Structure formats: structure tokens, C-alpha cells
Amino acid sequence: MKARNFFALLKAFGTCPIASVKILPWFSGVICIILTIYGKVIRRMAVQAKKQKFKANEYVVYPAHGVGKVLEIEEEEIAGMKLELYVIDFEKEKMRLRVPTAKAVGVGMRKLSSKADIENCLKVLDGRPRVKRTMWSRRAQEYEAKINSGNLVQVSEVVRDLFRTAEQPEQSYSERQLYEAALERMSREVAVVKKYDDKQAIEEIEDVMRASPHRTPKPEVKPDESSEAAA
């Protein structure tokens, strides 16, 4: 409903037909304020969408599905209104998604990370794993939220925290599932940015973590060796 039509209704029903008492003068003011704020928000989103305009054949990241490719920008008519849509292909998932261009930024769709961002994420992998001492169900929810955030740094943190070397205890089934999901999201973006295949990206990611000094087990010192060293 258009604003002018809405206010026409307010004008028509601004007086109670039974008691001739005005009941909506304050309400119309509140609605006016709400519509003004809403208009500003819509204009701001439109400006952001224009700045983040994606092109056909461009790779993008959609939070819930990872890296996809914009095949085309098409128009559809829905309820008499023309709607512009990005048609995104996710090759790994064998799926196509249509996203309204005006809502792309709002749902977290973004351009690929830069090479500098990729290097920063590889540094995250080199850090010390951080595992909270909370129930696994809660940690699993936090990991899933990070994986679907669309933020590559957060995805890198999940990869780092769930990775296990040969010397560390094995992952549980659910840990393995989350690790593979995070690794797939990260490796796919690394591969596209660095222009090589996913297998090479996975090898690079896991090599960084294996080489990290924070994962190298400390050598055990026998009691007699330590006493001799002290002497």
C-alpha cells in the first residue's frame, strides 16, 4: 500500500463514527515517523546494493552455501512488479539460487576475499587452537554459526580448532562433519582466489596447520635426564 493511500485511510477513519471522538491523531504521527525511518533504511540498502553490484560470470560468496558464480542477472515480474535477480550457480552443491539484487547485501552476499585476506586467514590457522570448555552441543552450534557467517576469518577459526594431527586424539563423527564443512568452505574460496584446484588448497591449508609450532607435541623429559641436566 502506498503511503498516500494509507494516510487517506487515516483521514477517513480519524474520527470515531459512533461517538465523534478523534482517536488517531497521535497514531498518524507515529506511523509517519515509522515510514520515514523505513524509507531511510530502504534508501541506505539501495545505496549499499549499488556499491556491491555483482556482475555476470563473477564469483561471489553466499553465507549459507559458500562460493558460487553469478551466471546472469534476470528480471521477473511478480504481482505486477519487476524484480531483478542474481542467478547464482553452486557447482559443488549442484544447485542454483536466485537472489533479489536489492537484498543481496542484506543477506550477507559478498565479493571474494583479496589475496591479502587469504594470507591473513592462513595466519589464523597457524595460531593456537581455542577450544571452550562447554558442552559439545553448544560448541557445535557456535561452529555452525561461524561456518554459515560468510566471514572467512571465522571459518578459518573453525578449521583451526577442529583440525587434528596424527599425534592428537581422533575427531568424533560430529567434529569430523563440521571440520569437513568448514574446510570445504575455506578451501573453495582459497582455490578460486589463488586460481588452483580445491585439492591443492586443502593441502596448503592442512600443511600450514601441521607445521604450526602450537601443534608440535613437547618432547617428554625422563626424570633421570632432568636431574642430570640440573646437575
Q: Give pLDDT tens digits for 85-101.
A: 999 999 888 899 999 99
Q: Reduce the DSSP state of residue 40 to 3 states and report it.
A: helix
99 bridge partner residues: 86
- CA dist 187 to 79, 113, 193, 210, Å? 41, 12, 10, 16
Mean pLDDT (the chain, rounded): 80
Q: Which residue has the cell 593456537?
A: 128
Tell the burial category of 104 from Cβ atoms under 10 Å away from its Cβ (0-12, 13-18, 19+).
buried
User: Domain 59-111 has what CATH class?
Assistant: mainly beta
76 bridge partner residues: 83
pLDDT-derived band at 120 (thresholds 50, 70, 90) equals very high
CATH of 115-211, one of 3.40.50.150, 1.20.58.1290, 3.40.50.2300, 3.40.640.10: 1.20.58.1290
pLDDT for position 29: 64
Q: Which residue has the higher pLDDT, 22 or 34?
A: 34
Q: Which are the contacts of 106, defined by CB distance < 8 A and separation ≥ 6?
A: 45
* Domain spans of the chain, in order of start: 1-36, 59-111, 115-211
Q: Give pLDDT tens digits for 192-229.
A: 999 999 999 999 999 999 998 877 544 444 444 433 43
Q: Give pLDDT tens digits for 42-83.
A: 555 555 545 458 999 999 999 999 999 999 999 988 788 888
pLDDT for position 25: 58
pLDDT-derived band at 5 (thresholds 50, 70, 90) equals low
Integer Cα distance of 68 and 167 in angstroms: 36
Side chain identity at 114, as an amino acid letter?
S
Q: Residue 23: pLDDT above 90?
A: no
Q: Which residue has the cell 582466489?
A: 193
Q: Which residue has the cell 555452525?
A: 144
Q: Residue 187: pLDDT above 90?
A: yes
Residue 174 in contact with residue 162, Cβ under 8 Å? no
Q: Which residue has the cell 561456518?
A: 147
